[in-house]
Amino acid sequence: MTASSGDRTSEREAFYDRISTKNLTPLWLSLAELVTPEPRSQCRPASWQFADIRAAMMEAGGLITAKEAERRVLVLENPGLRGQSKITTDLYAGVQLVLPGEVAPAHRHTQTALRFVLEGSGAYTAVDGERTIMHEGDFIITPPMTWHDHGNESDAPIFWLDGLDIPVVQFLDASFAEHMGEDMQPITKPLGDSDFRYGANLLPIDQARGSGTSPVFNYPYARTREALERMRRAEAWDPCHGLKMRFSNPVSGGHAMATMGTFIQLLPKDFSTSAYRSTDATIFAPIEGRGRTFIGDDFVVDWQKRDVFVVPSWKKVRHEAAEDSVLFSFSDRPIQEALNLFREDRGNA
């Protein structure tokens, strides 16, 4: 007896329904969606103009204090991932505002945070007993489970970009958080302590391998910019990246944080990069200059200083700088490298 294909279909569906009650499901219906020949991301190319973010943040400033909000942040949500507080499938980004005289109270959590200062100077962030003063373009780290609070003792608002591995920690179900119960943690170290200890190419003779997070927690823009300027020579331009450097952990030589890679890139006036793609979806924040970026086949961003845009995994990206431009960026590259998943395509450049 041979069943017709119609019978087969209804026989199979009856089977799927029956096994579903036992929490079983056939792989053959979803295999092609699960194991794709290349990344097929829900993450979309997207961009935010700082003028829009700033206006919304100032409005938020009138509606809620930093203390009441705990962190007064507007989340940059990827349009393909709305409602999930994600800028890429595994990273979070937001813009935080601290008004003059405000504090964002001390807490700690297993998520790693990076801060990239967009506007303002003179506010502080404190990490495990040490304060650092934040200036425009500074890249600052909050390592996992370190107490941190922010405050603004300057007379102007400060805005910074927060990048956190919230979705990674969520995926791993490894979130722990505590409130200190104080606005400010006790300060036990002098200003600049970690920079003197770890930022001078010196390490204690018996330095252990460390935790995976750099002990240098502020990479000041003044120094980064100076380094880029002194390195700029035509021979140094990479066709895909211009002059692109990664922030490193002096203890390991690896990335500055275990879960997020951070980069700074100089694109000289009129430089056009050749098409590049990689598996690490990347968030870009220009801090100097003006230009245009092409993402995938049809997304174009005209950016200027302080804007934010995101390039999804495996989408081709090309930059054109209209002026000397500096772009900060971050991605999950350290995770992908650790798991041997990182791939890039330089278009044979």
- 92-98 β-sheet, strand order: 73-75, 92-98, 158-164, 113-119, 139-142, 218-219
Q: Least distance in Å: CB of 96 to ligand GTQ?
A: 6
- Looking only at residues 227 through 246 of this chain, which bind ligand GTQ when binding is defined by CB under 6 A? none
What minimum distance in Å lies between the beta carbon of 80 and ligand GTQ?
20
Looking at beta carbons only, is 71 or 346 nearer to ligand GTQ? Answer: 71
- For the chain, the helix, strand and coil percentages under 3-state DSSP, each to the nearest 5: 20, 30, 45
Q: Closer CB to ligand GTQ, residue 111 or residue 265?
A: 111
In whole angstroms, how close is the CB of 112 to ligand GTQ at the nearest point?
10
Closest separation in Å from C-beta 162 to ligand GTQ: 3
Q: Does 73 bind ligand GTQ (CB under 6 A)?
A: yes
Beta strands 290-295 and 261-267, pairing class: unpaired
**263 to 73, 248, 306: CA distances (angstroms):** 23, 9, 15
Contacts with ligand GTQ, 126-165, as mask; x by CB under 6 A? ----------------------x-------------x-x-
Q: Single out the residue of 144, 340, 161 nearest to residue 259, CA to CA.
A: 144
# binding residues, ligand GTQ (CB under 6 A): 9
Residue placing its CB nearer to ligand GTQ in the complex, 73 or 91: 73
Cα separation, 66 vs 210, in Å, equals 33
CB closer to ligand GTQ out of 46 and 113: 113
Q: Which residue in the set 94, 167, 212, 334 belongs to the binding site for ligand GTQ (CB under 6 A)?
A: 94
Residue count (the chain): 349
Residue (109 or 333) nearer to ligand GTQ, CB: 109
**Sign of the CA dihedral running 194, 218, 87, 338:** negative
Site string for ligand GTQ, 13-52 (x = CB under 6 A): ----------------------------------------
Whole-number Å distance between alpha carbons of 210 and 96: 29
Closest CA to 289 of 320, 311, 329: 320
CB of 100 to ligand GTQ, least distance (A): 18
Q: Is 308 in the site for ligand GTQ (CB under 6 A)?
A: no
Nearest to 146 by CA among 130, 135, 159: 130
Residue 209 tokens read as 């391998």
Contacting ligand GTQ (CB under 6 A), which of 71, 135, 197, 246?
71
CA distance 125 to 138: 12
Would you give the DSSP letter of residue 187? P
Shortest reach from residue 251's CB to ligand GTQ, in Å: 24
Residue 6, SS3 per DSSP? helix
CB-closest chain residue to ligand GTQ: 162
Q: Is there binding between residue 288 and ligand GTQ (CB under 6 A)?
A: no
Binding to ligand GTQ by residue 220, rule CB under 6 A? no
Which residues in this chain contact ligand GTQ in the complex, by CB under 6 A? 71, 73, 94, 96, 109, 113, 148, 162, 164
